[in-house]
Amino acid sequence: MCGRLSQYRGIHDFVAALSMPNALANSVGDQAIERYNVAPTTQVALLHMQGELLHADPVRWGWRPHWAKDRAAPINARVEKVAHGPFFRAIWPHRAITPIDNWFEWVDEGGQKKQPYLIRRRDGAPILCAAIGQLPDADEGPGEHDGFVIITADSAGGMVDIHDRRPVVLTPDLAREWLNPATPMERAEQMVLHQGESAEVFEWFRVSKVIGNVKNVGPEVVVPLEQ
C-alpha cells in the first residue's frame, strides 16, 4: 500500500455503512469530507469506540512508539506481525476503522514515471479498513502523540499485479466486531489474519499522474484514464 487514499463522502455515510445504531460523537463535521488525495502525516477521519459510544475524530495518519524517535512513523502495520511484535504492542488493543472511498497504488509499466491506479469496491460501498492507534480520549481530547496505522496483508488474485500489499478490509459485521472493546484480542487477530475481504470485491483502473502531487486535491484525481 503506497500511502494515498480518498475520503470524499460525509462521515455519516461511512457510519451508515457500518449499520451501527450507536449515538455518534462527531468531531469531523457533518458535511462531505471531499478529500480526494489524502497523504500520510495528515489528519484522517477515523472511527473508534469509547465504551458504548462511537466516535468520529480526525487523527494523524502515522504512529511510532516514544522509544523509536530515530525512525519515521509508519503508516501501515503488517498483519503477520502486528499482534505480537514490540513496535505496535502499546496500540494493538486500541482498534479503529479507517473508512475510505478508495486508495491508490503506483505500478512500474516501463515509463519514466510509475502509473497510478485507483482501487475501490466493485459495489461502490465504503471501504472499511482495520486500523489501530493512539486515539483521542473523550475526556482529555486530542493528544500530541495521537496517530494511527492501517493494517495490511499480502495481496492475492489479480491485485498482486498492482501491489503486493493491501489494506485489510472488513465487512460491516466484522468491522463492528473489530470496533467492539469487548472483542478479545485473540479474536481480533484471527479476524484480520483470515477474514479480510478478498480481491474479487475490488476493481482498479489507471488514473492521472497528477495524483502524485499532494497539491492536486480535487475530484479529477479519481477519474479513470481513457483507455
Q: Which residues contact 186 (CB under 8 A, 6 or more apart)?
A: none
Distance CA 22, CA 31 (A): 20
Identify whether the C-beta of residue 120 lies closer than 8 Å to the C-beta of residue 202. yes
Residues with catalytic annotation?
A: 2, 105
Burial code (b: 16+ CB inside 10 Å, e: under 16) for 32-59 equals: ebebbbbebeeebbbbbbeeeebbbbbb
Identify whether the C-beta of residue 3 lies closer than 8 Å to the C-beta of residue 75. yes
